[in-house]
Chain A
Amino acid sequence: MQRIGVFICHCGSNIAATVDVERVTEALAKEPGVVYAVNYQYMCSENGQQLIKNAIAEHRLTGIVVCSCSPRMHEATFRKTAEAAGLNAYMVEIANIREQCSWIHKDIEEATEKAIVLARTAVAKILLDKPLTAGETGVTKRALVIGGGIAGIQAALDIADAGYEVDIVEKRPTIGGRMAQLDKTFPTLDCSACILTPKMVDCAQSDKINIFSYSEVEEVKGFVGNFDVKIRKKARHVDETKCTGCGVCMASCPSKKGLNEFNMNLNNRPAIYIPFAQAIPNVAIIDPEQCLKLKSDKCGLCQRKCGVGAIDYKQEDSFVERKYGAIVVATGFRPIKLDNFNEFGYADNKDVVTSLELERLMNAAGPTKGTLLRPSDGKHPKVITFIQCVGSRDVSGCGKPYCSKICCMYTAKHAMLIREKYPDTEVHVFYIDIRTPGKNYDEFYRRAVEQYGVDYIKGMVGKVYNENGKLMVQGSDLLDNKQIVIPSDLVVLATAIEPDPSVRDIATKLTISIDTNDFLTEAHAKLRPVESPTAGVFLAGVCQGPKDVPETVSQASACASKVIGLLAKDKLKGNPCVSHVDENMCTGCSQCEQVCPYGAITYIDKEFRIGGGKTETRRVASVNPAVCQGCGACTVTCPSGAMDLYGFSSAQILKEVEAICKR
């Protein structure tokens, strides 16, 4: 038999002014199962809690109902109170008589009656409550970072700095991400490589960080504290442990037609290559599409030239399985494809380039060794026109509805750098709005206009066409209210950015969600901006939304602190309000498994006695309480009524319905 105590809070006058607490106390004292009812000014106060503790001991209570503010406010408080008095923390129910009653009703009679019903409903529920214990699981003290751009690098360095092991899985042959491709960075104009490559080297040298380059996450199982991850190391046909990165192979390779991805395909590279001089790891890789040996078994020159015997044409993909306690997703972005924007003539004119291509054309390690030359004829462009918001803030469906956030700033950067280096160049920028919030950002943009004389034109570009070797940029000047045509030598498109397309696959594998633009969704837009909705999975960098390097780094460090907080724990307490199966009723139909968003349900073969000393083996559902988040989807889906949820059982909810409907 349950012995329930009911504790009615005045909340000062918040409740007591509208609810007649004495009447509630009297009514509840008569409720079957209730052995004690009392009201007090502030139940959550030190004295109030002591009153509850004393009552639990004195009246040998088996459960308590607190009639007070919302459970979202003080449920945790009263669970602790109960626990301190030797009760199970889950033998507590809250009747919300403040937010749902005293604060919204004026009539005392009406509010008091409602408070009584709400309290009775809570009593009906608690009578079926059972003590619950949250399961505990160990924590694997290692983190996985997916994506080795600046976000992933920063997160890994911070986690390693706290003394934990970190693995970085990077799908490209080197870490560094987009930042490695940039020339200079706003707002300070320091060289990107100069600030990034030391961090890349730190990753390589840290004894806590392990880099799986040219690798992808194949499969993720498990849950917070204990993820089991299978990593596919794609065949690079070069033995990483032997290669010294000397580059002899590159010089010897006769197949030199591969497109150089690092240089945005603006020049070529051999079939065996190292992406760029400071690549980490500094190990060559063979492009199987270009390699003569792999394609037609001819050649084999690099193997003969390699002094350390690192070339392995027969290498195949291999797999590594590792356990992790936490995962950071940092898969970054790419510029969108411009197929929907024929008006800018990108496909037809070599001298219409994207901003990322321009970064390579201005970079000392780029295809032109840092001298700005037109891709078509290698001449210095004299008139350069930038077009901002290409594919951003586009609600027509051709582009992206959001603002890519970084383009105003990097276009100002490009314009300034060009005017600085080639003062005889004329630079025009078409813009819709200039958006430069951020420390020293608007000042940066104004410098471009005031100090560097960049011609900013508010207006949209209608089309870009080639006339006698000149790129004619036709657009509107909204401030002067006229149509203009600017004959240009080079046109730069500030192209919208979008999440790396692999993000969908990653989101599915980790059961995290993406928004309508494929950016990963955070657990709470304001209060939990670096956590994903799945416990133990965190988000850093542009994969979560457009951002620049400083913002990316802050978010990555925030992720790292969350990860460190998690890994610092030896045990994780779960939520005990999870579902469970009545194996005798389960038919093994699989319907629950299909609705569970977390993959918490698996099937086991179980032996049942069927009488006459015989047994039969049946397949039944089995819930992993550490994975189950307690949504209850399975409980309703189950056609046999075999699934139920602790803390919110069907019988309890039915009792609540009955209590409310009792007239």
Chain B
Amino acid sequence: MQEITTTHKPLIVAFCCNWCSYAGADLAGSSRLSYPAEVKIIRVPCSCRVNPIFVLKAFQRGADGVILCGCHPGDCHYSTGNYHTRRRMALMFSMLNYFGIEKERTRIEWVSAAEGAKFSQVMNDFAKTINELGENRRLEDLRCKK
């Protein structure tokens, strides 16, 4: 592990809902508020579109952290989507934890379209945590690695 962490470039998958968090990321961008390049965003219509399988897949393919961002509770563009997300992911994350994925590697954050600064802050903070945790190989399916 030790020698890997030094050269290891972490991978972070960020699912962002189109209406709030993706717009928040845009605002972070237009305000030139940086966050580490290892964060890569996938746009989904609503945080509730994120199937636990997507999270699992990310870890299976060697992601070091997965973060879900949605509108603040009560502000979901589709009224109730993020309530489903919150409940669903609490379960998913605790299951992952049981499988040995540290719970710090998964996170849900509510970021509004106005919170560019928060978006960058959240991503910086999450990336820092992931960097500290180092490489995550527990769920990685080594068979599909070339």
Contacts and interface: CB of A to CB of B under 8 A. Distances in A.
Interface of A: 70-73, 96, 98-101, 103-107, 110-111, 113-114, 117-118, 121, 511, 513, 533, 577, 595, 597-598, 629-633, 635-637, 645, 648, 650, 653-654, 656-658, 660-663
B25 A637 contact: no
A470 B30 CA distance: 65
Contact residues of A: prevailing secondary structure: helix
Nearest to B55: A657
Interface stretch (B38-46, B94-102, B103-111, B126-134): B38-46
B51 interface: yes
B72 interface: no
A110 B37 contact: yes
A315 to B, nearest CB: 39
A633 B46 contact: yes
Of B11, B23, B25, B43, most buried by chain A (CB within 10 Å of CB) is B43
B48 A103 contact: no
A657 B49 contact: no
B33 A663 contact: no
B22 to A, nearest CB: 7
24 contacts: A71-B43, A72-B22, A99-B28, A103-B30, A103-B32, A104-B28, A104-B120, A110-B37, A113-B37, A597-B79, A631-B77, A632-B44, A633-B49, A633-B78, A636-B49, A636-B50, A636-B84, A637-B84, A645-B45, A645-B49, A653-B54, A654-B57, A661-B62, A662-B61
Interface of B: 9, 11, 13, 18, 22-23, 25-26, 28-30, 32-35, 37, 40-46, 48-54, 57-58, 61-63, 77-81, 84, 88, 120
B29 A70 contact: yes
Contacts, number: 131
Contacts of B79: 511, 513, 533, 597
A661 B37 CA distance: 13
B49 A631 contact: yes
A595 B41 contact: no
Contact of A72 (B23, B41, B62): B23
B78 A629 contact: yes
B58 A661 contact: yes
B45 A577 contact: yes
B15 to A, nearest CB: 8
Contact of B45 (A104, A121, A597, A648): A648
A101 to B, nearest CB: 8
A595 B79 CA distance: 11
Given A633-B81, A636-B49, A657-B61, A663 B25 contact: no
Given A71-B43, A660-B11, A631 B78 contact: yes
Contact of A114 (B32, B37, B49, B50): B37
B86 to A, nearest CB: 12
B13 to A, nearest CB: 6
Contact of B11 (A104, A118, A635, A661): A661
B32 to A, nearest CB: 6
Contact of B40 (A72, A73, A118, A648): A118
Contacts of B78: 597-598, 629, 631, 633
A660 B79 CA distance: 30
A658 B61 contact: yes
A633 B48 contact: yes
A657 B25 contact: no
Given A110-B37, A111-B37, A597-B80, A658 B46 contact: no
B73 to A, nearest CB: 12
Contacts of A70: 22, 26, 29
